[in-house]
Amino acid sequence: MGVALGVASLAMIATFGALILTTRWFVVSMVLVAAAIAATAPPIAAVHGMFNSGLASAILAGATIGVPGTMQFGMTFSWLDTAEAGTDPLTGIPNRRGLRTRWTTWAMRRSPSAEHVGVLVLDLDHFKEINDGRGHAAGDEVLVHVARVLRVEGAADDAVIARLGGDEFALLVMGRSTQECLDLGDRIRRAVAGDAGVTTSIGVAVDEHPDVDASLLTALLEDADRGMYEAKRTRDAVVLAS
């Protein structure tokens, strides 16, 4: 019974390690476990024989290395598949699905005292003319350049950058006031015009006292989208959704 409880305890510890350790440290842990099993095999064999020693080592290795290892690498590959599916292949930033995944992760870990959730939606002005006049390759180059600008400008506010589709982008900003989100939008507007050579219309939506649930991101995206269409009336503008 003592041996069974010991094996079960080791298996639980190894399984817990598979869930919380990075792949590199999990491999290091498994190497140490394997070394420990190999070191205990000869003394067991001397007392109980080679067969019993081999059987005990196989059971222990399966419980503490095989099963947790399968779990860890399965989760790693699953994460890689999810990350790839949530990434825009052209710009390398999250797509709409990736944005929602990051939102869900933040919402699950959110501190009860956290305040302010903001969304900026931006659409490039006259982008169709770039595609029609200079070709789609030139249009793709502009999109990649805009994504770089968003990364740089959004980094100061820890914004999550995403391409929603076509020439429409979004930024998800947590813990920033309405004025800070508007300032971010204006910095982006000026940077895109200066670096990418195109103007952009930006809508901003902020909930300063949010009830965090699955629908909040959708509601903010819709509000910011309305603000963006309002900005389209003059273009090269930032509009706070009412």
Residues 124 and 131: their CA atoms lie apart, in Å, by: 12
Tell me if residue 167 is catalytic: yes
* 117, 174 contact by CB (below 8 A): yes
Residues 168 and 191: their CA atoms lie apart, in Å, by: 16
* 11, 66 contact by CB (below 8 A): no
Catalytic residue among 167, 195, 225, 236: 167
Largest CA distance in the chain: 87
Amino acid at 150: L
**H or E element: which one contains 149?**
helix 136-155
User: Where in the sequence numbering do the catalytic residues fall?
Assistant: 167
